[in-house]
Each structure stands twice: as structure tokens, then as C-alpha cells.
């Protein structure tokens, strides 16, 4: 009579073990899937690695990208679901470009699908069909000059170069800050924006590697507009240095830009 009893106990052990494993790891797996879904379709973090968007964005700014506004892209495809609106002139957008071997050369991602992709952040200046002209940091769109007003402020970058801060006004009541350094030669020229594409430019007009050099971008390469700074610090060291507690004390007391945390993107 004992053998059947043992068989019943053994049979019940397996479901009990599976339930225990699910209790321990199932919730974690579900949380991970939800986090990945949010990152893919709703919000994604991004770190500013360069000064091309000075003075709007600083090196070491960490921001959130709204991936839902233009329509979330289905992962591993170029298919984009319907969004709430189209990109507008003046939006600060994170998007993908193709980068050549060893970091040499930047290309529109759809024109070099053989190359690895890298995320950039710039401002939408040219909409589909626009003609954009840049001369000595002054901007005109479709033959209309965009007003620039001096703010009386100056901006000094980490290399010690000082530029004037101007407020540039774009159509539809959009305005934002740009840098102008008369001693530096930016990229001038006339740029025709093809249908279905956008011309992206940095606010640091005289020192920005942007669409004036390598071309225009499709909506399919847009991740979304930046909308919130969630962290900002002036950290240029290696990640290995983060293992030193003294580094953290210095960062939190002297190099964290507490006043920028929680700011929206102009």
C-alpha cells in the first residue's frame, strides 16, 4: 500500500517545484518584458556624448525620448505604427545614422544598410520639400530669413572656446538658442530637403557634424523627440574610475548639475 502513496507524492512534487520557480522568476520575467516593451515603444533613455547641441544640451545630459509621439517602430523592422503627430520644425530628435568602419564617415542609415547604426541628437530644421540656406551661421528657409536676437550671454565650451548665444526664431512661433562664433567657419550652403526626409542641424552651428555634411534623414530612422532631462553631470572619466568612492563623492558634490534635472527640452 505504501508504493502507490509514494507515487502520488512524487507526482505532486513536480507541479509544486514548477510553481515555486514561477513564483521566484515569473514576476521578474514579466517585469523585464514590460520594461523592454516600454523602451521599445514608449520611452527610451539617451546620453549626450558631444557638444553639437550646445547650449541647449550639455555633454553628460541624460534625457528621455518619447518614442510614442511619432508612432512606435516595431522592433527589428522599419514598420512604424500610427503616431499622434508628424515631426515639427524645431523638435529636438534622437535618430539613427550609419557609421563607417573605425568611426570614419557618417551616412543616412537607409543609404548604407551594410554599416552599423549609431544614435545622434539634432534639431529638425528642414521639413520635406524645404530649401534651407546657411550663410555665416544665419539661416533662411524657403527664401525667408530666420530672425536671430542676441541674448547678451556668452557660452564657453570645455575646450575654452567662447561663443555668443543667440535666440533664433523659426516659423510657427518656435524659438530656441543657438551659438555663433564669428571666428569659426561652420558649414554653409544651400540644401534641398527631399520628400519624406528631414534636415537635422545642431544648435552649435559652427561646430556640429550634421545633415549639412552627410544628408537628410527619413522618419523611419527617428526614435522620437527628446522631452525631459532626468540626470546631468560633468563626468569625463572612465567607467573604471566609478569604482572609486572618492569619484562618486566628487560627482555628487561638484559635478552633478542638480539644477538641470527635471528640465524640459527647449
- Over residues 185-212, the mean pLDDT reads 95
Q: What pLDDT does 15 receive?
A: 65
Q: Give me 58's grid cell.
A: 550639455
Topology of domain 42-260, CATH: Umud Fragment, subunit A (2.10.109)
More confident residue, 230 or 185: 230
DSSP β-bridge partners for residue 225: 93
What confidence tier does 32 reach under pLDDT thresholds 50, 70, 90?
low
What confidence tier does 80 reach under pLDDT thresholds 50, 70, 90?
confident
Residue 122 near residue 211, CB atoms below 8 Å = yes
What are the domain boundaries of the chain? 1-41, 42-260
In terms of C-beta density within 10 A (0-12 exposed, 13-18 middle, 19 or more buried), how is residue 97 classed? buried
Q: Which residues are catalytic?
A: 52, 122
Per-residue pLDDT at 138 exceeds 80: yes
Percent with pLDDT over 70 in the chain: 85
Per-residue pLDDT at 7 exceeds 80: no
Express each pLDDT in 205-245 by its tens digit.
999 999 999 999 999 999 999 999 999 999 877 777 778 88
Express each pLDDT in 140-163 by its tens digit.
999 999 999 999 999 999 999 999
Amino acid at each position: 500500500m505504501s508504493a502507490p502513496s509514494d507515487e502520488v507524492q512524487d507526482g505532486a512534487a513536480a507541479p509544486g517545484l514548477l510553481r515555486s520557480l514561477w513564483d521566484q522568476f515569473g514576476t521578474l520575467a514579466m517585469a523585464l518584458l514590460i520594461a523592454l516593451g516600454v523602451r521599445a515603444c514608449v520611452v527610451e533613455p539617451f546620453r549626450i556624448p558631444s557638444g553639437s547641441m550646445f547650449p541647449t544640451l550639455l555633454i553628460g545630459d541624460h534625457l528621455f525620448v518619447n518614442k510614442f509621439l511619432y508612432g512606435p517602430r516595431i522592433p527589428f523592422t522599419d514598420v512604424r505604427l500610427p503616431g499622434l503627430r508628424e515631426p515639427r520644425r524645431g523638435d529636438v530628435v534622437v535618430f539613427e545614422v550609419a557609421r563607417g568602419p573605425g568611426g570614419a564617415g557618417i551616412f543616412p542609415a537607409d543609404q548604407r544598410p551594410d554599416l552599423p547604426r549609431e544614435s545622434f541628437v539634432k534639431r529638425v530644421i528642414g521639413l520635406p520639400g524645404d530649401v534651407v540656406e546657411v550663410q555665416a551661421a544665419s539661416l533662411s528657409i524657403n527664401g525667408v530669413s530666420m530672425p536671430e536676437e542676441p541674448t547678451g550671454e556668452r557660452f564657453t565650451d570645455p575646450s575654452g572656446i567662447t561663443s555668443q548665444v543667440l535666440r533664433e526664431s523659426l516659423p510657427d512661433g518656435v524659438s530656441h538658442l543657438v551659438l555663433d562664433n564669428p571666428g569659426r567657419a561652420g558649414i554653409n550652403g544651400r540644401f534641398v530637403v527631399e520628400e519624406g526626409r528631414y534636415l537635422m542641424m545642431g544648435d552649435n552651428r559652427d561646430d556640429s557634424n550634421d545633415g549639412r555634411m552627410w544628408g537628410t534623414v527619413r522618419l523611419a530612422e527617428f526614435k522620437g523627440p527628446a522631452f525631459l532631462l532626468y540626470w546631468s553631470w560633468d563626468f569625463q572619466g572612465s567607467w573604471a574610475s566609478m569604482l572609486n568612492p572618492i569619484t562618486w563623492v566628487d560627482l555628487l558634490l561638484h559635478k552633478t548639475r542638480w539644477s538641470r534635472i527635471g528640465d524640459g527640452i527647449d
